């Protein structure tokens, strides 16, 4: 992918904090339900 796993985890953590989610599944559900 071109980035380290640590960088990817950091980006995901920041996204979770901004969206109020705690997992990739919760994030996906939130995104799908907003449409």
pLDDT tens column, 2-21: 999 999 999 999 999 999 99
Q: Is the pLDDT of residue 22 over 70?
A: yes
C-alpha–C-alpha distance, residues 29 and 17, integer Å: 15
Give pLDDT, residue 31. 94
- Spatial neighbors of 10 by CB under 8 A, at least 6 apart, are none
The pLDDT assigned to 24 comes to: 96
CA distance 15 to 10: 9
Domain count, the chain: 1
For the chain, what's the residue count? 35
pTM: 0.76
Segments forming the whole domain that contains residue 27: 1-35
| 19: nearest Cα among 7, 10, 28 | 28
Task: Give dist(CA 13, CA 23) in Å, integer.
Answer: 9
Q: In this predicted structure, what is the pLDDT of residue 1?
A: 58
């Amino acid at each position: 992918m071109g980035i380290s796993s640590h960088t990817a985890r950091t980006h995901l953590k920041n996204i979770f904090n901004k969206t109020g989610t705690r997992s990739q599944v919760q994030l996906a559900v939130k995104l799908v339900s907003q449409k």
